[in-house]
Amino acid sequence: MLYILSTIRKEFKQQNYIISMIKTQLLRKLGFTNNEIEIYFILLKLKESLASKISEETQISRPHVYDSLNKLMNKGLASYIIKNNKKHFRATNPEKLLDYIKEKEAELKQNEKSIRKILPELNSLYKPLKEKPIVEVYEGSEGIKTILFDIIKVRKEMISFNTLGKEFFEHIPEHVIKRYINERKNKKIKSRQFYTDGTKIFKHSMVKYKKLPTESSQVTLSVYGDNVVMFVLSEPILAIKIKDKNVAKLYKNQFEIMWKLIK
């Protein structure tokens, strides 16, 4: 019986820990610091507290406690009242988090409008090299995301030697894949891809496949517009991009020859 009760307590603690981690990660995504998150949770728990008590509970120095409290108040998530000439801090209704998100969304939209206004000026300053090939290296899922949406932006057919199929997309968040596929369909961006035995190809209406009689590899090479990209399934995943009309043309010609030969 004691063993069962001990096991239940452990599982309960683990569940509380997991829930706490999820809440912390969500607030981090909204731009909260670790100190702000810890102090906000303590305020919710204590209902009302002096800064000294918050410092004692969190082991955060009092100057940093005041700094975080000021930030929480600026976000509309904390307030204070005066009792006996001392400030007693409180958390506001957690639903204020939704108001904070809406404010952030409005701020982002305003920033987007401001950026769009100055884009012509920024573009006039940005003069990429025309004669020499431009080589760029992208790392991790965010880097691959940049390449995928560059394909959408260029809006040309993509061709691939030795596609990595579903194994490639395992390195990318699911919502990014869905957006990428939907935008390709909406903009009618087609692709032709070679694959090898054992590859789990990612089927959708905008792609045609042909099978290569060669061994599989953890590297693929894709071409779209004037861009040649080599994807390497390493840890983290890498993309090496070469932007050059002549290099792209060379690979396109080789691809067309192979596409006609292989049935």
8-26: pLDDT as tens digits: 344 434 434 334 555 667 7
Average pLDDT over residues 184-201: 88
Instruction: For residues 34 and 24, give the distance between their C-alpha atoms in angstroms, rounded to a whole number.
Output: 8
Quick one: CATH architecture of 134-261? 2-Layer Sandwich (3.30)
What are the angstrom distances between the C-alpha of 82 and each of 20, 50, 74, 89? 31, 10, 18, 9
Per residue in 97-120, pLDDT (tens digit) is 777 777 777 887 888 888 888 888
- Nearest to 227, CA basis, from 132, 146, 129, 135: 135
User: What average pLDDT does the structure give for the chain?
Assistant: 81
What angle in degrees, to the nearest 10, is found between the helix axes of 140-154 and 174-186? Answer: 10
CB neighbours (10 Å) of residue 177?
16
Q: What is the pLDDT of residue 8?
A: 33
CB neighbours (10 Å) of residue 6?
10
**pTM given for the model:** 0.52
Domain at 2-91, CATH class: mainly alpha
Asked whether the predicted pLDDT for residue 200 surpasses 70, the reply is: yes
Asked whether the predicted pLDDT for residue 93 surpasses 90, the reply is: no
For the chain, domain boundaries: 2-91, 100-127, 134-261
